[in-house]
Amino acid sequence: MKNIFKYIAIALSASALFASCVSLDTVPSNQFASSNVWKSPILARAAVNGVYNDLYRGFYDSGNDNRATPLDTYASVMDIDKNWRSSCVVTQGSMTPSHGTVNDRYRMYYEIVYRANDVINNIDSVEEMDAKERAKLKAEAIFLRAYAYYNLNMFFRGVPIYTENVASDEATKPRNTEAEVWNQIITDLTACINEPNLPNKTTDGKVSKGAAYAYRGIVYQNLGDWSKALADFEAIEKLGYKLYSPSNGAPGNDDFFKMLRPEQEGCDEHIFKVNCITQSGQGNPRSIHYGNRVTGGSAWNNFLPNPGHVERFENADGSQFDWEEYCPGYKDLTTEQRIVFFLRDGLVDGANGHYGAGANAFNEDRYKNMVAYCNDGGTAMQNYYLDKGNEARIRRAYENRDPRLEMSIITPYAVYYGNAAGVGNHDWVLRWPYILDTGEPYDIRTDCPWAFYYLWRKYVTEGDECTTRWVYDQDIILIRYAEILLRRAECLNELGRTSEAVQYVDMVRSRAGHIKLSDPGYKGTDVSTQAGMREKIRNEFYVELGGEDSMYFNELRWGTWYDLKFKNYTQYAHDTSVGSNGLMEIWGKIYYSNTPVSALAGNKGAWPIPQKEREMNPNLTQNPGWTD
């Protein structure tokens, strides 16, 4: 399962031959390719694993937080904790061509390109290696080059294409157009699909034809060629991939949750992933960044689900979620007053209508703090707070929902089985206000106990699965079959075959035990029209894939990213009093607003070409709107 790391020790030592700095902060590896490397099958395999290792470094770099920032942080799915907000220049208005985030993303993918090129251009020289193995490894490198160029093109919209490595003073190609880069990616992925020695399906994180079909289909979607994209997504079904669903969609199942757990690594749903192992520097960092202070001994909560994202999860009957249905009066209150619905039981006695009296001093202080927070003299507390039953009322707002909500996100008064230093394994509950996590009442603690946020359950360890930071062995899934089914539905709908699209959305929904679009009891968006189905499919992408690094590029592709990230609190805009997006507490109080950069509004959200690269290669033109 983890054989991608079999030669890591060799790969890391061999990488000294391949890594350095040119205009891309990497040295063309063939500059230093010793004849011994390409005569040794062991070193050749290590070179290929070195490319995979660079792929991993895009998700974890011990000295580079820019690389560790999940792409869904840039999307409307989630936000960065207030303590870390400065690290996300994309949403904080501080992006410039000179910023490290811009340079790091550009350099990271070109490192993969250069290492992949070294394999592609030299592995045929390894005479002692079986020809079939050479062809397979070469195809893997071609795919990884295509994957790198796919990311580069999504970020920068046209970059220089290098299929052979050059000396640093010769790396002076001008930018290829966005269309030319797409064509190069299609050429590479087609070569992978046509390579007979590349397996149709893998379970160990290595490249397969299934992965090549998946990404070629995604490129065709970006080009608006729905027919070709559909053909590629249909081809994947024949390769052995399928939804993980041992319960066959039985009500109350947790197949969706289990599919994302380490025990199911290598299941038939996972098409392409980054392998992680229980070793420092090679584990899954998401458990730490997505977790909380009672995760893995004591983790962080750097990346937090946006409340607007949580509102995307439908009611159990498929109807759109509305706070008013569960908390009458919600819309009439100010953002600050709405805190009253989320408070824990027992803050006051309320005897004789005298709120604050009769409670113990500890809780009375908390009650007074909530009155001060609402800034209304206690009106909201007196009219809406239930001293016994507040928790049960708010739980109904989450329990009668799409089951994927509770399997993806820790919601108020939900139980999380974690592990805290000095306590060990235990059940904690997300309550507000926070009181204590090291003993009764065992509240979930976060980095910011003064605020109440939604927390991730996806990618977060439970119990003592991981008690040492950075060593969680859950793989980082880059694409899985559920996404392919949704993309297949999207293609059919855009081709005007809307009724055919329903079955593929239903497959994804029913796996999680959610109501099908075809169910007579379904009360959601009318999916008989192309526009209605388009809305439903896009929402399905969010609730199925949120937090998995798919939605930033999808929002860019749909042309919805800029408005969703910077303008609208929620896709459905129930709360018109909140005019901007950003980090906020569950009831909508904004801690900081996302600050737009005007240049990102156009040209499909293209990032600037790094100034450092343009200084070393004067033939690189800058994207519109950016000033060096």
pLDDT for the residue numbered 471: 79
Indicate the helix (H) or strand (E) that contains 610. none
CA dihedral 371, 375, 381, 382 (to 10 degrees): 110
Q: HSE (CB half, 13 Å, CA atoms) of 628?
A: 13
**What are the residue ranges of CATH 1.25.40.390 in the chain?**
3-84+99-261
Task: Report the alpha-carbon distance of residue 294 to residue 292 in Å, rounded.
Answer: 6
Of 493, 522, 498, the closest CA to residue 402 belongs to: 522
Question: What confidence tens digit (pLDDT) does each residue in 596-618 have?
Answer: 889 999 899 999 999 999 999 99
Residue 250 has pLDDT above 80, yes or no: yes
Q: Which residues contact 376 (CB under 8 A, 6 or more apart)?
A: 334, 336, 337
Question: What confidence tens digit (pLDDT) does each residue in 356-407 have?
Answer: 444 566 677 888 899 999 999 999 999 999 989 999 999 999 999 999 999 9
How many other C-beta atoms can be found within 10 angstroms of the C-beta atom of residue 439?
10
CATH code, residues 3-84+99-261: 1.25.40.390
Phi/psi for 625 (5° steps) reads 90, -15
Q: What percent of the chain has pLDDT over 70?
A: 89
Tell me whether the omega of the peptide bond preceding residue 307 falls within 30 degrees of 0, making it cis. no
pLDDT for the residue numbered 59: 81
Q: Which two tokens stand for residue 134?
A: 């050479």
How many other C-beta atoms can be found within 10 angstroms of the C-beta atom of residue 167?
11
> Across 6-10, 463-467, 568-572, 579-583, which has the greatest mean pLDDT?
463-467
Q: Which residue has the tokens 């075809």?
A: 518
Tell me whether the omega of the peptide bond preceding residue 441 falls within 30 degrees of 0, making it cis. yes
pLDDT band, very low/low/confident/very high, at 112 (cuts 50, 70, 90): very high
Indicate the helix (H) or strand (E) that contains 235. helix 226-237
Q: Which residues contact 206 (CB under 8 A, 6 or more apart)?
A: 4, 52, 140, 199
Question: What confidence tens digit (pLDDT) does each residue in 151-206 have?
Answer: 999 999 999 999 999 887 889 999 999 999 999 999 999 999 999 999 999 988 99
| Cβ atoms of 515 and 522 closer than 8 Å | yes
More confident residue, 64 or 97: 97
Question: What confidence tens digit (pLDDT) does each residue in 452-464 have?
Answer: 999 999 999 999 9
Of 549, 571, 550, the closest CA to residue 560 belongs to: 571
Helix (H, G, I), strand (E, B) or coil at 192: helix
